[in-house]
Chains A and B, each alone.
With several copies, the nearest count.
Chain A
Amino acid sequence: MNATLQILDPAGRKVGKVPKLKHEQLLRMLRAMLMTRHFDDRCMKLQRTGKIGFSIPNTGIEAVSVGAAAPLRKTDWIAPSYRDFGMALYLGVPAEAMMDNMFGNAADTGRGRQMPVHFSFVEPVRYLSISSPIGTHIPQGVGIAMAMRKRGEDGVCLISFGDGGTSSQGFHSGMNFAGVFSAPAIFLCQNNQWAISCPLDKQTASETIAIKGEAYGIPGVRVDGNDVLAVYQVVHDAVRRARAGEGPTLIEAVTMRMGGHSTSDDPTRYVDKGMLEEWREKDPLKRFRQYLLEEAVLDARQIEQLDEECAAVILEAAKAAEAKTRPPLETVFTDVYQDMPEHIRAQREWCIHHYSSRGEGVNEKGEFPL
């Protein structure tokens, strides 16, 4: 069976061939990982203090998202899962734009229509609007990739999902289409051992996730998902193949969800403590930090400083997002279609009049005054 690629061991020691990366880029990766962790921490706090309704822990899986984003160009597309804060942050989505979504405020690109962590961005990278239904974005990502080839472009689409996502119909149809049409797609499975409370061995009887590629004629690769350099390497190779017209790759990044499924979940009901302890040793940030110190890319003080800087950026972002108004009432009715049909127009007018005429904190235009 597929071996699992590792470049840095849990102690940060080199155990494989290190990809050639400039210091600048290593720094950027570290920064994105730190940003991700702080973003996650902050959201947990915001949720616990009742300022936002919900979040999805990303701690422990920063290496997957960041390592996978790093080989991409800004013209590539990402069809992310909800556990991919790191991809957006690495590629330059402002933390404040993400926080706008966490608060569902008027500045949220999704106009506060979705739950928190359901981001949507087109700038600086195509980070596809996240959907709650599991797996639906997988064939979509394949279609996106097919379109690029039809136009003769060499872009790729990175499609990210969980181990649970491999059971969805979207995984099956998406992988199958990608195989048949040789789409420039990279399938990245973040195998964090759990789908809410369902452990991997109740999710699938297959030996690994990577081997599932066989069913679609797609090469499968296994990688240590807590090793950002290894993730970088396998995604980099897959991207190169895809750009060259050599077709898709399935990557299984083996990692562990270090918290609950979401802020609504109590994992102590089903996750064994020992398992968490074991994985805590394999922390991706600790490992990468150690490597950077040993390679003298940064010293401890510089890392400390970067960490503080990231924490501050995130805190500022949260504050800024919190201060923004809710979306105007009229956003309930816009964006259903490009042109608003009559029946929706009538409902909008009725609704705004209904609430504003009773002084419900909304004026005739459907804006909230505060």
Chain B
Amino acid sequence: MTQLTLVQAVNDALRTKMREDPSVLVLGEDVGPKGGVFLATEGLTREFGEERCFDTPLSEDGIVGAGIGLAMNGMRPVCEIQFQDFIYPAFDQIVSEAAKMRYRSGGQYTVPMVIRAPYGGGIRGGLYHSQSGEAYFAHTPGLKVVVPSTPYDAKGLLIASIEDPDPVIFLEPKAIYRAFREEVPEGRYSVPLGSTRQVREGGDAVVFCYGAMVPVCVEAARRVVETRGREARVVDLRTLLPLDEAAVLEHAKECGRVVVVHEAPRFCGYGGEISALIAEHAIEYMQAPIVRVTGFDTPFPNTLEHYYMPDARRVQDALERVLDF
């Protein structure tokens, strides 16, 4: 056991799998000697050599395209996209190819590949170093979409993603890459994809969230104990696709009041799916409107980013609104 930050846990997961399985490769821009711009791949080229962890030309289309080929031919590539904002040149490879290969070939060709990308705001990155594009991927059948919120989960979920037989988009909340440390077991363990995690107990309302919003929501729930004397449950969704819909509905039914939180813009965002699921399958349990707390429906700003991103106070407001309803 060691105390690791989230980004160190990512590094540890990569190292663990690379030691265990020679088919695991890491590729991307600056992942080699530099160790990645966030140092998530630090030391991997040194330990495993250039054949196993290597820099690529500046082409996300190439990284993912070649990654798909490597995956189809027996490798387990982990592609790094330097910022999630720069994934769009690879969108065609991800959406048209990785996501549909198994289906269109009747399972003859498959793409066991992970695409890691730091996402989200909070680092003064402006329009192009702050985005949260999870909804684009979550709307794409054939992909899995995973977002950890703790070092423990980051390692366990990334290992599970590498071992997964299908393509996984692994979005890392860069705002909390180094926010705190946690005990992380050495060696291989995994956190199964498709399961949610209850972060905080409570039965008066439930907050669904993921990534860097998890600590924000926990803080909001804490405040509501003070302001309203009520206990809000906080649920970290962890795997956005496939989602554990049964768990979401169960929590919603038990609490009767729901708040959904993410950084991405609201309109047609991931939160809409959570609301819609509940409105379709558990509306009769609802004692209040289902409230979303999200980024605004604008691009991501820079100087004023802290006004753009949901914070504990906004989530608190929403919780109070559903509790007071």
Contact = CB atoms under 8 A, between A and B. Distances in A.
Contacts of A291: none
A165 interface: yes
Given A118-B104, A197-B30, A337-B142, A142 B66 contact: yes
A305 interface: no
A248 interface: no
A168 B97 contact: no
A335 to B, nearest CB: 5
Contact of B57 (A104, A144, A176, A326): A176
Contact of A327 (B57, B299, B304): B304
Nearest to B65: A139
Interface in B6-65: 25, 29-30, 32-35, 37, 51, 55-59, 61-62, 64-65
A338 to B, nearest CB: 4
Contacts of A168: 58-59, 89
B108 A133 contact: no
Contacts of A286: none
Given A140-B65, A195-B29, A129 B104 contact: yes
Given A115-B129, A132-B129, A167 B105 contact: no
A142 B58 CA distance: 16
Contacts of B128: 114-115, 131-133
A279 interface: no
B104 A131 contact: yes
B3 interface: no
B74 A147 contact: yes
B165 interface: yes
B242 to A, nearest CB: 4
A99 to B, nearest CB: 14
Given A109-B108, A173-B65, A146 B70 contact: yes
A44 to B, nearest CB: 17
B33 A133 contact: no
B93 A139 contact: yes
Contacts, number: 268
A10 B317 CA distance: 65
Q: Which of A121, A138, A177, A195 has the most B CB atoms < 10 Å from its CB? A: A177
Contact of B108 (A121, A174, A197): A121
Contacts of A140: 65-66, 68-69, 72, 97
Interface stretch (A60-68, A87-95, A339-347): A339-347
B314 interface: yes
Contacts of A135: 58
Contacts of A195: 29, 58
A344 B296 CA distance: 8
A134 B90 CA distance: 13
B103 A335 contact: yes
A145 interface: yes
B67 interface: yes
Contacts of A358: 313
Interface residues of B, number: 80
A160 to B, nearest CB: 15
A354 B314 contact: yes
A263 interface: no
B65 A112 contact: no
A303 interface: no
A265 B302 CA distance: 20
A148 to B, nearest CB: 7
A335 B88 CA distance: 23
A350 B307 CA distance: 12
B276 interface: no
Given A132-B128, A269-B34, A176 B102 contact: no
Contact of A169 (B89, B97, B302): B89
29 contacts: A53-B124, A104-B303, A112-B302, A112-B303, A113-B104, A114-B302, A115-B128, A120-B104, A131-B104, A132-B127, A133-B128, A136-B92, A136-B97, A140-B68, A140-B97, A141-B69, A146-B69, A169-B61, A172-B59, A172-B61, A196-B37, A269-B35, A332-B296, A336-B103, A336-B142, A337-B144, A342-B244, A343-B267, A347-B298
Interface of A: 53-54, 77, 104-105, 108-115, 118, 120-122, 128-129, 131-136, 138-148, 150-151, 157, 164-165, 167-170, 172-174, 176-177, 180, 195-198, 202-204, 264-265, 269-270, 326-327, 329, 331-339, 341-344, 347, 351, 354-355, 358, 362
